[in-house]
Amino acid sequence: MKKILMVCLGNICRSPIAEGVMREKLAQNNIPAVVDSCGFESFHIGDAPDPRAIKVAKENGIDISNLRARLFRRQDFELFDHIFVMDSNNYRDVSRMSSGESDLEKVDYLMNLVYPGKNLPIPDPYSGDMDDFRQTYAMAEQAVDAFIQRIKKSGNS
């Protein structure tokens, strides 16, 4: 079973959208998985995703309204096989909590699934408008589709 964690800053925009997309598409493809999301900003702990994130997910048939923000924890390295970050700040924050190379091997930029090694960010839509949230959704969907194709090719579901 795949265990996947999505990480952004506040865990109310990018990572809950990515969590919802990953969870939905893995289920559609009958790939058993545990998917979660978290962040590094304590201001939003326990909060639901941003209403704009909920809306854009709902526009695409995904309900993320029940998700609640939490902080990244050191034990997440033990609990998850894949830890996907949205940008270089998230990568730095996760790396600082790692215990070494075995932890870091699990960490990658979500967009590296589409553009390997490019470390392209998914921009934070928080200060933007609905178009920015739709762009976040589109990028997350593109990455998740690439991840699922990789799983299918490897036959490792």
Catalytically active residues are 8, 14, 124
57: its two tokens = 């997910």
Q: Give the full edge-to-edge strand order of the sheet including 82-85.
A: 33-38, 2-7, 82-85, 107-109
Residues belonging to the chain: 157
Are 35 and 64 in contact by the 8 Å Cβ rule? The answer is no
Which of 31, 30, 24, 117 has its CA nearest to residue 67? 24
3-state DSSP helix/strand/coil % of the chain, to nearest 5: 45, 15, 40
141: its two tokens = 């969907």
Spell out the residues 6+ positions from residue 145 whose beta carbon is closer than 8 angstroms to its own: 25
Cα separation of the two ends of the chain = 7
